[in-house]
Amino acid sequence: LTFSAFFPSLCRDVGNVVEAMYGDLPPPIMLIGHSMGGAIAVHTASSNLVPSLLGLCMIDVVEGTAMDALNSMQNFLRGRPKTFKSLENAIEWSVKSGQIRNLESARVSMVGQVKQCEGITSPEGSKSIVEGIIEEEEEDEEGSESVNKRKKEDDMETKKDHPYTWRIELAKTEKYWDGWFRGLSNLFLSCPIPKLLLLAGVDRLDKDLTIGQMQGKFQMQVLPQCGHAVHEDAPDKVAEAVATFLIRHRFAEPIGGFQW
C-alpha cells in the first residue's frame, strides 16, 4: 500500500466515523490531533471531509522539526524495550524514560499501546530457529524433534516472563513517515478555519509556521516543562487552552466562572 493510498484512507476514516455517528446533520466539530494525529487532522480538514468543521488544533507537530527527527527515529525505536513483564512495568518505563511525564496519564495511555501476546520471539531469533530446524530435519529427524522441543520451551519461558509487547510495530511504517509530515505546515496554514497550535517549546517552530504566526494566521500557545506528549503531561493546561480558543472564537460560552 503506497502513501498516496494509505494516508487518505486514515482521513476518510475520520469523516466516516462522523457520518456514522451523526448522519447528515453533524454538530459543530473541532479536530484535535497530536503528532501524526495532528497530520491526519490537517489533511482531513484540508480535504473537507468533515463539513461541520469549525476549528483545528495541532499538538506538538511541526513539519520542519518532524522531518529532522525522522533521521533518528529508528535509533529511538531500537532503544525501546521490545517486551514488558507487566502493564505496571510498561507504565513505569514510560515515566522513567521521560516519554510521559505524568504518571496518571501513563496509567491510562500505556494500556492501549501494549498488548498481551503469546510466544514472543524476535524476527531474527525466529528466523535462525526455523533455519536450524530445516538443517536438523535434513540431517536427523530425531535431532529436529529436539530443536522443536527446545523452541517451544523457550517460547513458553519468554511468554511467562514478558507477556506484553507493543501493539503497533512502528518500524514497519517507516516508508510512510516522510509523507506524513512533508508539506504539513503550508497545508495547516491554508485551512480556512480558526487554528490553534500547542507546542512544548517555541524552538520547535519551522520557518513557514514562524512567518504564519507573525502574520496572525493561527493562535499559538507554548506549554513549558512538557515533553512531546503535551496533552498527557499537562492535560489541564491543554484543556484550558482549547477552552479559551473556543470561547475566543465564540464557538462556546464560558460557564462556572471560567476566566480566559
The conformation of residue 134, written as its DSSP 8-state character, comes to: H
- Give the number of other Cβ atoms within 10 Å of residue 169's Cβ: 11
- Which of 94, 228, 231, 233 is the catalytic position? 228
Calpha distance 242→248 (Å, rounded) = 10
Kindly report, residue by residue over 28-56, the tens digit of the pLDDT.
999 999 999 999 999 999 999 999 999 99
Least confident piece of the model among 56-65, 72-81, 100-109: 72-81
Q: State yes or no: pLDDT of 147 exceeds 60.
A: no
Give the model's pLDDT for residue 150.
59
Q: Any catalytic annotation for residue 249?
A: no
Calpha distance 65→38 (Å, rounded) = 14
Calpha distance 41→44 (Å, rounded) = 5
Please indicate whether residue 121 or residue 118 has the higher confidence score (pLDDT): 118
- Which of 35, 46, 109, 126 is the catalytic position? 35
- The CATH homologous superfamily of the domain defined by 3-80+173-248: Alpha/Beta hydrolase fold, catalytic domain (3.40.50.1820)
Calpha distance 244→238 (Å, rounded) = 10
Please, is 111 exposed, middle or buried when counting C-beta atoms within 10 Å of its C-beta (0-12, 13-18, 19+)?
middle
Enumerate the domain spans of the chain. 3-80+173-248, 83-172
User: Model-level pTM?
Assistant: 0.78
Please indicate whether residue 66 or residue 153 has the higher confidence score (pLDDT): 66
pLDDT-based confidence at 61, cuts 50/70/90?
very high
Please indicate whether residue 120 or residue 65 has the higher confidence score (pLDDT): 65
Quick check: 11 and 49 in contact, CB under 8 A?
yes
Q: State yes or no: pLDDT of 126 exceeds 50.
A: no
Q: Any catalytic annotation for residue 155?
A: no
- Which of 34, 43, 60, 233 is the catalytic position? 60
Give the model's pLDDT for residue 203.
80
Q: Any catalytic annotation for residue 24?
A: no
